[in-house]
Structure 1
Amino acid sequence: MPHYLVLAIRKPGFDEAAIAPHLAWLDDLRARGLLVLTGGFSDRSGGAYVLHNIASLAEAQALVATDPLALTASSDLTVHEWNAR
């Protein structure tokens, strides 16, 4: 099964209140075995996370659409099928 790299880039006017729900959402993904790695960029422009155990790009995109960063329109989120080794 492939991995999915998600890039989350903050929009102008980013709402800091979105961070705590986003981190809780990531913790839930990790508990469900769907999250491999996550972290913010040192310049605070956004971050990235890697999903796995997901059957398709469409399924990964649907899951990412439930990220609080997407729901609050705080960040632009893009999902890439990633052939990691």
Structure 2
Amino acid sequence: MNRYLVIALRTPEFDPAVIGPHCHFLDKLRADDRVELSGPFSDKSGGAYLLRAATLDEATTIAHGDPLHLSGASKLTVHEWHAK
């Protein structure tokens, strides 16, 4: 599996009610050993998580299932990450 950094930046439509469903989404990914790290940015502009997937397309598909993306609360970008 490859690693992908998913960056979520809040949009003007951000609703704090989406945080619960987003955390549940990440918990399910953790249970499937798909998420290594996750957390919010200290400035409250969004957050990031490190996702495991076979391809960029798979990682993007997974990330686009995040309630943050589905609700329009955050703009998600997915970047292949080669950690050393």
TM-score w.r.t. the length of structure 1 is 0.96
Structure 2: gaps spanning 5 or more residues: none
2:59 is aligned to: 60
2:78 is aligned to: 79
2:48 is aligned to: 48
Question: Once the two structures are superposed, what CA deviation does each residue of 1:40-75 show, in whole Å capped at 9, x if it has no partner?
Answer: 0011000000011x1100000000110000110100
1:69 is aligned to: 68
2:27 is aligned to: 27
Letter in 2 for 1:38: S
Structure 1: gaps spanning 5 or more residues: none
CA distance in 2, matches of 1:13, 1:29: 25
CA distance in 1, matches of 2:13, 2:24: 22
Once the two structures are TM-superposed, the CA of residue 13 in structure 1 deviates from its matched residue by 3.1
Q: Which runs of 4+ in 1 moved over 4 A?
A: none
TM-score w.r.t. the length of structure 2 is 0.97
